[in-house]
Amino acid sequence: MTERNRPGISFNEALEEKLAQANWSRREFLGRVAAFGAAAALTQLLVACGGGAASPSAGPTTQATPQGTTTAEATATPAPTPVPTPEKELFVYNWDQYIGEETVQKFQDKYGIKVTYDNFADEAAQIGKINSDGKGGGYDIHYPASTWVASFVTDGRIMPIDHSLIPNLKNLSAAWQNPAYDPGNAHSVPNFWWTTGYAWDPRDVPGSPTSWNELWNPARKNQMSMLDDIRECFAVGAFLLGFSPNTKDLGELDQILQKLEVQKPLLRKYNASSQIDDMIDEVVQMAHCWSGDWVQMTYTKPRMKYVIPSEGSIKGNDVMVISSGAPHPIAAHLWIDFNLDGDISAENTNYIGYMGPNEAALPKIEDYIKGDKRLNPPQSVLDELIELEYLAPADLAQYTDRWNALRA
């Protein structure tokens, strides 16, 4: 966090500037603090930077659970239209810096429902918390990647969405009304989507690279980074070798591993989160990253470029889901409906740089996001991109084993 603590800027200013821009860093930061048990030290920092984010380890599990039975009855007879509910609270669990700046406050003002908005550091922390009691860990709403929906439904982690409580579902574009991962949006509502590619610094990298092979260029030894993400790295290898990024074929996985082993000695880092800072600070010239990372790089260094490589790449989206043990299910539906409002959705996108599936939001989304082919690719490009599919534990273990062999 403090690496950009430049002369003339106080620690807090630097931190605040960073937190505003580099949500990935903050997630990572939170994660490490959670892992290290130093939440107390962090709280001060968060207060100092006005983020209002609670420590991810301070979930509302205890106070939330007892109310579960009484409010569950309320869902049985849902009101036909969203009206203020007897529920006075809502527990939301989301990525840090992954929502409009004023969205939470506006929701509170509109419905008089107090929102406890907690952040998680990474997907592992999120899934761990949600699975801790098998029904959401006391949170009403959380934001998993779409690939989790099927297993959450099977395991009873989330409840069906009552569409009559969410009139704004009509704002979803046609393509998102019936996604493959959750037909009819029965158990989830799409939130944001992204692409994977790489960013580069035109000062060091001539021309307009388009291939994933650029990340294997020995001339850039020690000046490139890959995402510290098993699936994303294996996907890059798969695209270069012409395999599916969802392959379960052990022979293909072995070939991908060999490919990645050639690349490893050339890399400065496998980046869990500092890909934004490392590009801004010119530690690396080229970084495997997500589209939103690049947007945030350009806030500081507008010259930075991003490409969705020609061999193919990944698209993904996350969703809003309601825990099966949600203490406040009606308020949770109101929350989803509120975030699907065209104005609110546009504010969310304009703040974090990720495009959502909301058609009503389009007119209010900033042109630099909406008009950028890399952030908002035309349908023909999107159709070519592939979604990472959920892997069963046995298949994931094949990936993890090879990843560990690579990293060791």
Partner 1 sequence: MTSATAPAELDHATGQIHEAGAGRSAAAATSILVLPGVLWLAVFFLVPLGIMAVVSLGAVDQGGHVTLAHPGLGNYTHALDPEFLPALGRSIYYAITTTVLSLAIGYPVAYWISRYGGRRKILLLILVMLPFWTSYLIRTYAWMTILRDNGVINSLLLDVGLIDQPIPILNTDLSVILGMTYGFLPYAILPLFVSIDRLDFSLVQAARDLYATGRGAFLHVTLPLTMPGLVAAGLLTFIPALGDYVTPDVLGGAQTTTIANLIQVIFTTGRDWPYGSALGFLLMGVTIVGTLIALRSLRREVIGVSA
If one counts every other C-beta atom within 10 angstroms of the C-beta of residue 389, the result is 16
Cα–Cα–Cα angle for 368, 371, 374, rounded to 5 degrees: 95
The answer to whether 275 contacts partner 1 (rule: CB under 8 A) is no
* Comparison of 260 and 355: residue with beta carbon closer to partner 1: 260
Which pair of structure tokens corresponds to residue 236? 């890059």
The answer to whether 279 contacts partner 1 (rule: CB under 8 A) is no
Distance of closest approach, residue 320 Cβ to partner 1, in angstroms = 22
Among positions 168-207, residues that touch partner 1 (CB under 8 A) are none
Contact residue for partner 1 among 72, 272, 382, 385 (CB under 8 A): 272
Distance of closest approach, residue 231 Cβ to partner 1, in angstroms = 9
* Comparison of 119 and 348: residue with beta carbon closer to partner 1: 119
Q: Which stretch binds partner 1 (CB under 8 A): 81-89, 139-147, 202-210, 397-405?
A: 397-405
Write the single-letter amino acid at 84: P
Contact residue for partner 1 among 74, 79, 230, 381 (CB under 8 A): 230
Contact residue for partner 1 among 9, 12, 13, 41 (CB under 8 A): 41
User: What residues are paired with 321 via a beta bridge?
Assistant: 142
Distance of closest approach, residue 257 Cβ to partner 1, in angstroms = 10
How many whole angstroms separate alpha carbon 358 and alpha carbon 342? 7
Contact residue for partner 1 among 3, 133, 311, 389 (CB under 8 A): 3
What is the per-residue binding string for partner 1 in 238-267, x denoting contact by CB under 8 A?
A: --------------------------xx-x
Instruction: List CB contacts of 266: < 8 A, sequence separation 6 or more.
Output: 216, 217, 218, 220, 221, 222, 224
Distance of closest approach, residue 343 Cβ to partner 1, in angstroms = 37
Among positions 64-123, residues that touch partner 1 (CB under 8 A) are 122-123
How many whole angstroms separate alpha carbon 85 and alpha carbon 70? 13
Q: Which stretch binds partner 1 (CB under 8 A): 158-166, 240-248, 293-301, 396-404?
A: 396-404
* Comparison of 109 and 261: residue with beta carbon closer to partner 1: 261
Distance of closest approach, residue 203 Cβ to partner 1, in angstroms = 14
The answer to whether 151 contacts partner 1 (rule: CB under 8 A) is yes
Interface with partner 1: number of residues (CB under 8 A): 50
Write the single-letter amino acid at 327: P
Contact residue for partner 1 among 214, 281, 311, 389 (CB under 8 A): 281
Which residue ranges make up the site for partner 1 (CB under 8 A)? Answer: 1-5, 29, 32-33, 35-36, 38, 41-42, 45, 122-125, 127-128, 151, 154-155, 222, 225-226, 229-230, 264-265, 267-270, 272, 281-283, 392-394, 396-397, 400-401, 403-405, 407-408
